[in-house]
Amino acid sequence: METVTATLPALKTVTIDGIAVPIEGERNLLELIRKADIDLPTFCYHSDLSVYGACRLCIVDIAGRGIQGACSTPPEPGMTVRTQTDELRRIRQISIELLLANHDQQCPTCPKSTSCQLQDVARRLGVSQVRFKSVHSPRELDRSSPSLLRDPNKCILCGDCVRFCSEIQGIGAIDFAYRGHDVAVLPAFGHDLAAGECVNCGQCAAVCPTGALTPRPEVDEVWRALHDPKKTVVAQIAPAVRVALGEEFGLPAGTSASGQIVAALKRLGFSAVYDTAFSADLTVIEEANEFLRRKATGGRLPLFTSCCPAWVKFAEQHFPELLPNLSTCKSPQQMLGAVIKDTLPAARGIAPADVVVVSIMPCTAKKFEAKRPEFAKDGRAEVDHVLTTQELARMISEAGLRFSKLKPESYDMPLGFKTGAGVIFGNSGGVSEAVLRYAAEVITGTKVASPDFHAVRGEDGVRLATVTLGDTTLKLAVVHGLKNARALADKARSGECDLDLIEVMACPGGCIGGAGQPVSHDPEARRKRTRGLYDADKNLDLHSSQENPFVTECYAKHLGEIGGKRAHELLHTHYGNRRRIGDETIRLGEGPSEAKLNVRVCVGTNCFLKGSQAVLQGLLREVDENDLHDSVAISASFCFEKCERGPTVELDGKRIQRCQPEQAIAALREQLAAGKAPQP
């Protein structure tokens, strides 16, 4: 009998603090060190972002090479690495002291106080004093955004927000400005955050290690409403909140705590607590019918979902040509707000002005969405206040409630009843799957054996799926991260996109990864929250939106037929081209600002590419050649919100679309001849 001896290949290893650690595809030493259960401090390293190497906290001592950054050094077999030496410790301590010296140290009142990485690292490194003199000059807080609060006094220049906004969202709403001691992170052109291209997704705040960027709080306003005896304050809870709030109180990520959340809200003083998953079921029915109608009649496809307000604003700013492709359905938050405001006053015999709707959301963009003028009726917003998951946790703590010991309570009916389809809305792919569960029954005419559509699930930023239902084949895409959405939108705009339905979520993993969720440095947290929502779906008896009996009742009593006039009034909306730089003009020429005839030419990207520069030059030449400086003032504007019909010229308040140089000059001469301004 022959004996065969198998020789295993030798493992490639790096010796870290005396322990041999195998190299198994790690991109840098920091990943390898973390695999060895050593938590090196760092501010600027995120596995989803490019390596920046700015904070210099993850430095290590490599034998024969000296001190280097672990995040920017690839592992090589045979390396000997030390993560702790006296020199390394002193360098890290000095780095923290230098940061603290120019940092706003009002830590007890900082919204990031309990999750601030700067505080955590300073404590871990034993930094008990700051020996350096501060040269910091206080800067004004940016309160312009309804979703975010920017405090430049707490910025440590780690660049996390800049890279996330650029690399994951593809927007670049904030970036580094100036040089040397004056370097700062700012929105474009030094404007406030709300004046630029920010879409309010808040992911910059989610990765910010300090309190420089945080969700804008509405806790005080909600407390005032709760303490007002004239007000009836009700809450709605988004699906993703139930699997994340418990993290703030020591529960594992992904733990569904719906019952405790309802109990806490009622203890806080809310008159009723509803489930946004109910209106997610409404959204499925309205959106699926809109989709199937377009598919059957040759309507405009692909249909983009409209549940994510950050994506909607992104589309308004960057892809106005595709707005007809967006579903006209409101988001579940706004649908439920509209239904509550429409039905609750009569049901309870109270004045409409005394109903206050508070949404508990995982998302900062929902704060912006609630304040959109499209979502107000008779001067009253459909949703009055939006609290993030973090803010609700703060209120529960402020009230002294022991969350984990609260006895679970039930949602209020009928707007608290939901199916599993509404619950999985919080996951990337959940909207598509919920629509498929509905469409499958409509198309085939029979109830599907299994409601699960695993083809649209997963973690990839772009997922393509082809689903055959009877004789109908549907092509879908599921996208999270706006940079990924831009790539698909570009294809849709150019006609290269052979898809029927595209689901877009701005945040990684969908709503479960929203910027209002608890801050977690556990890379598994998002996965656990995702699993938590799918488990919640399985724990319910009904899994398809059309099975929700209270949704059926809502149509019968309040909404009329699906997609009908009344349903459109309450559940649908419209979107429009949105300027990216508001009210920004540049005066050209020598004319006085009080000139009788004002001419504005759009030089925004779309108009510029369509020839607005030639229009502007022609008008300036006309003014120069005829010495009209005293009677005509010409300005360059950045946007008139009609990009698809550019170049646009505004002459004495009248706008001319698709304007050519000769047309603009002729219009100017006509105005002058009509006596609109004195002629030379």
* CATH code of 322's domain: 3.40.50.1780
| 3-state helix/strand/coil string of 163-184 | HHHHHHCCCCCEEEECCHHHCE
Q: Can you name the residues that pair with 234 across neighbouring β-strands?
A: 272, 357
- Residue 679, in any domain of the structure: no
Residue carrying structure tokens 């707000």: 337
- Residue 474, in any domain of the structure: yes
Residue where a domain stops, chosen among 216, 231, 253 = 216
Q: How far is CA 628 from CA 52, 592, 614, in A?
A: 54, 11, 19
Nearest Cα neighbor of 240 from 454, 424, 435, 429 is 424
pLDDT for res 133: 85
Contact 212, 224 (CB under 8 A): no
Residue carrying structure tokens 């799918």: 534
Q: Can you name the residues that pair with 632 across neighbouring β-strands?
A: 597
Say if residue 499 is in the same domain as residue 441: yes
Give phi and psi for 121, each to the nearest 5. Answer: -70, -40
Contacts of residues 243-247 at CB distance under 8 Å and 24 or more positions apart, as own/partner, are 243/426, 243/512, 243/528, 243/529, 243/532, 243/533, 243/536, 244/362, 244/389, 244/512, 244/517, 244/518, 244/529, 245/389, 245/392, 245/393, 245/403, 245/518, 246/403, 246/404, 247/518, 247/520, 247/525
- Residue 605, in any domain of the structure: yes
Say if residue 209 is in the same domain as residue 325: no
- Helices and strands of the chain, counted as H and E runs: 21, 24
Range of the domain at 661: 585-673
Nearest Cα neighbor of 192 from 230, 229, 145 is 145
Say if residue 124 is in the same domain as residue 164: yes
Say if residue 179 is in the same domain as residue 203: yes
Instruction: Count CB neighbours of 352 within 10 A.
Output: 13
Say if residue 381 is in the same domain as residue 254: yes
To the question of pTM greater than 0.85 for the whole model, the response is no
Say if residue 505 is in the same domain as residue 378: yes
Say if residue 547 is in the same domain as residue 660: no
126: left (phi over 0), alpha (psi -120 to 50) or beta: left
Residue carrying structure tokens 């946004």: 276
pLDDT for res 641: 63
pLDDT for res 633: 86
Q: In this structure, which amino acid lies at residue 108? A: P
- Residue 310 burial by Cβ neighbours in a 10 Å radius (0-12, 13-18, 19+): buried
Please say whether the dihedral angle defined by the alpha carbons of residues 268, 270, 275 and 280, taken in this order, is positive or negative: negative
Residue where a domain stops, chosen among 216, 235, 261 = 216
- Residue 576, in any domain of the structure: no
Per-residue pLDDT tens digits for 405-457: 999 999 999 999 999 999 999 999 999 999 999 999 999 999 888 899 999 99
Alpha carbon distance 60, 63 (integer Å): 10
CATH, residue 77: 3.10.20.740
Alpha carbon distance 369, 196 (integer Å): 17
Contacts of residues 289-296 at CB distance under 8 Å and 24 or more positions apart, as own/partner, are 289/562, 289/563, 290/327, 290/328, 290/329, 290/563, 291/327, 291/435, 291/439, 291/500, 291/501, 292/439, 292/442, 292/443, 293/563, 295/472, 295/474, 295/500
- Residue 380, in any domain of the structure: yes
Give the E-state strand segments of 315-379 in sequence order. Answer: 355-361, 376-377
The SS3 call for residue 326 is strand
Say if residue 254 is in the same domain as residue 390: yes
Per-residue pLDDT tens digits for 165-194: 999 999 999 999 998 888 999 998 888 999
pLDDT for res 222: 97
- Residue 464, in any domain of the structure: yes
Alpha carbon distance 521, 498 (integer Å): 38
The SS3 call for residue 30 is helix
The single-letter DSSP state of residue 329 is B
Regions of the chain with pLDDT less than 50: 8, 582-583, 591-593, 678-680
How many structural domains are present in the chain?
4
- Residue 461, in any domain of the structure: yes
Residue carrying structure tokens 């006039």: 565
- Residues annotated catalytic, as ranges: 287, 290, 307, 327, 366, 369, 374, 511
Say if residue 401 is in the same domain as residue 423: yes
DSSP-assigned letters across all residues of 220-246: HHHHHHHT-TT-EEEEEE-GGGGGTGG
Q: In this structure, which amino acid lies at residue 32? A: L
Alpha carbon distance 34, 512 (integer Å): 25
Say if residue 184 is in the same domain as residue 103: yes
Say if residue 74 is in the same domain as residue 125: no
Alpha carbon distance 277, 254 (integer Å): 17
Residue where a domain stops, chosen among 84, 106, 131 = 84
CATH, residue 636: 3.40.30.10
Alpha carbon distance 351, 329 (integer Å): 27
Q: Can you name the residues that pair with 148 across neighbouring β-strands?
A: 215
Give the containing element (helix H, strand E) for 592.
Answer: none
Alpha carbon distance 340, 353 (integer Å): 12
Tallying the residues shown for the chain, one arrives at 680
Q: How far is CA 658 from CA 447, 530, 646, 650, in A?
A: 52, 48, 5, 12
- Residue 4, in any domain of the structure: no
Q: Which residues contact 505 (CB under 8 A, 6 or more apart)?
A: 307, 308, 311, 428, 479, 480, 511
Nearest Cα neighbor of 382 from 336, 441, 443 is 336
| 3-state helix/strand/coil string of 357-372 | EEEEECCCHHHHHHCC
Contact 301, 295 (CB under 8 A): yes
The SS3 call for residue 500 is coil
pLDDT for res 589: 56
Say if residue 259 is in the same domain as residue 393: yes
Alpha carbon distance 54, 45 (integer Å): 9
CATH, residue 204: 3.30.70.20
